[in-house]
Amino acid sequence: MSQSFYPSQLIDRFGRKVDYLRISITDRCDFRCVYCMAEDMTFLPRAQILSLEEIHQLAIAFAELGVTKIRITGGEPLVRKGALELLEKLGQIESLNELVLTTNGSQLASTAQALKKAGVKRINISLDTLDADKFKAITRTGDLQQVLSGIAAAKSAKFERLKINSVILKNRNHHEVCGLVQFAVDNEIDISFIEEMPLGIINEHNRGAAYYSSNEIRSDLAKRFQLIASIEKTGGPSNYFKVADSSTRVGFISPHSENFCHTCNRVRLTAEGRLLLCLGNEHSVDLKHIIRSHPGNSAILKKSIIDSMQIKPEKHEFKLHEQPVILRHMNMTGG
């Protein structure tokens, strides 16, 4: 099949344009956040995860099909050996407008400058609390100071934008939302609050009981900050507000209280090479099998990607108060 037969954009059966790919380059992580993983996790053997060359090959195929934004995530992407080299190669794909990264920040102090040089435009850094003991308790293994140093290094490297991602759990860190926004304002960065999603079985807490809605967070913040509603969209599910007299935007990712599926523009590639059409469903295509069965055949690969649009579900199936139907933990797909 010649190149000209391919559509220049991926469109699903609901007419949504898919131009954003998230790639989990590893399921491994140096943290064990209580909402993301069970304490005792088994990770995939190396042979089962995509090689860096395979990830590069897949990224090129998606870019040729109109994907203009790629987010590298994990697991913790920066603990994978060769992550920087991969980012450098991805940064050279001309049609990609945005190469961005989500990280827990633990490795940023030593990698921020190299990431900027590789062409990473923006970074999301997870930070749920500013209290060192609580940070240790939520991440199970993390060190707050290391992450704060990482954020400082990222600031010095002058990315286009930095954003904090905070998952808010009732009676855990919900009373810290004002402090987190103040931290973002002081550092001239953005922040998004995320409602916990029921992905994978965890025993550490009851997800229904820990639910703290975006509306509750918004009214907590309104007591201290003036939030100005913004019509600005960043190509994601966040609803944005500007904090008056600052450059900080506050976003709310509300899978439970505000369904955003009708605007979905993204698909996700898991560490083991499964193209996941929706975070809250299991519809997927095994792209690893396709590239390993047809090495170097980009025509077959691209046709599989185009065909996958036919099984992208209309919306997620998260049910907060029931046992999760989605057994994969967030580290498989990268949030």
Q: Is residue 29 a contact residue for ligand SAM (CB under 6 A)?
A: yes
Coil vs helix vs strand at 38 = coil
Min dist. Cβ of residue 200 to ligand SF4 (A) = 10
At 25 the three-state DSSP class reads coil
> Exposed, middle or buried by CB within 10 Å (0-12, 13-18, 19+), for 72?
buried
Min dist CB 184 to ligand SAM, Å, is 14
Per CB under 6 A, does 236 bind ligand SAM?
Answer: no
Residues 155 to 184: which contact ligand SAM by CB under 6 A? 165, 167
| Strand order, beta sheet including 239-243 | 227-229, 239-243, 249-253, 190-195, 161-168, 122-126, 98-103, 69-73, 20-24, 266-269, 274-276, 284-286
DSSP character at residue 309: G
Per-residue x/- track, 36-75, ligand SAM (CB under 6 A): x------------------------------------xx-
- The yes or no reply on residue 102 touching ligand SAM (CB under 6 A) is yes
- The reply on whether position 76 binds ligand SF4 by CB under 6 A is yes
Q: Does 29 bind ligand SF4 (CB under 6 A)?
A: yes
| Position among 10, 34, 69, 103 found at the interface with ligand SAM (CB under 6 A) | 103
For ligand SF4, which is the closer residue by CB, 36 or 250? Answer: 36
Q: Which x/- pattern, by CB under 6 A, does the window 93-112 give for ligand SF4?
A: -----------x--------
Would you say 269 and 276 are in contact if contact means Cβ atoms under 8 Å apart? yes
Of 50 and 301, nearer to ligand SAM (C-beta) is 50
CB of 149 to ligand SAM, least distance (A): 16
DSSP state for residue 310 in the 8-state scheme: G
Q: Is the dihedral of CA 144, 146, 149, 154 positive or negative?
A: negative
Tracing tokens 């967070």 back to the chain, one arrives at 217
Q: Which residue is at the shortest CB distance from ligand SAM?
A: 335
* Cβ 33 to ligand SAM shortest distance, Å: 6
- Partner from ligand SF4, ligand SAM, none contacting 32, C-beta within 5 to 8 A by type: ligand SF4
Query: Which is closer to ligand SF4, CB of 290 or CB of 330?
Result: 330
Q: Which stretch binds ligand SF4 (CB under 6 A): 72-80, 115-123, 240-248, 250-258?
A: 72-80
| Selected binder of ligand SAM within 35, 159, 193, 240 (CB under 6 A) | 35
Partners of 73 in the β-ladder: 24
In this structure, which amino acid lies at residue 334? G
Q: How far is the CB of 303 from ligand SAM (least distance, A)?
A: 30
**What does the alpha-carbon distance between residue 332 and residue 273 come to, in Å, rounded to a whole number?**
10
Min CB(76)–ligand SF4 separation in Å: 5
Nearest approach, Cβ of 196 to ligand SAM (angstroms)?
4
The answer to the question of residue 126 lying near ligand SF4 (CB under 6 A) is yes
Comparison of 38 and 261: residue with beta carbon closer to ligand SF4: 38
Distance of alpha carbon 106 from alpha carbon 125, whole angstroms: 9
Cα four-point dihedral sign 128, 161, 187, 177? negative
Nearest by Cα to 139 from 170, 172, 181: 172
Cα dist. 268→71, 134, 249, 253 in Å?
9, 31, 25, 17
Interface with ligand SF4 by CB under 6 A: which residues?
Answer: 29, 31-33, 36-37, 74-76, 104, 126, 330-331
